[in-house]
């Protein structure tokens, strides 16, 4: 894997893998944190249809 920093594409620095600098690591952390809130809400919604489908499948037997 030699794609470079996922944020800016520059060569990765060993100290900040997989990023090129602390700044890019910080940017990714912010994205991850803000994305986590969205995922948490979506995950809660997705759990209901999955549970219902499983329950219905068991009832049919």
Residues binding Zn ion (CB under 5 A): 5, 7-8, 10, 20, 24
Q: How far is the CB of 32 from Zn ion (least distance, A)?
A: 15
Q: Comparing C-alpha atoms, which of 23, 16, 18, 14 is closest to residue 6?
A: 18
The 8-class DSSP code of residue 27 comes to H
Q: Which two tokens stand for residue 41?
A: 């809400």
Q: Which two tokens stand for residue 52?
A: 């219902």
Q: How far is the CB of 48 from Zn ion (least distance, A)?
A: 39
Q: How far is the CB of 5 from Zn ion (least distance, A)?
A: 3
Of the two residues 17 and 46, which places its CB atom closer to Zn ion in the complex?
17
């Amino acid at each position: 894997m030699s794609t470079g920093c996922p944020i800016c594409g520059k060569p990765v620095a060993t100290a900040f893998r997989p990023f090129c600098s602390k700044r890019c690591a910080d940017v990714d952390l912010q994205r991850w944190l803000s994305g986590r809130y969205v995922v948490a809400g979506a995950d809660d919604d997705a759990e209901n249809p999955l549970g219902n489908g499983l329950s219905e499948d068991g009832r049919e037997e």
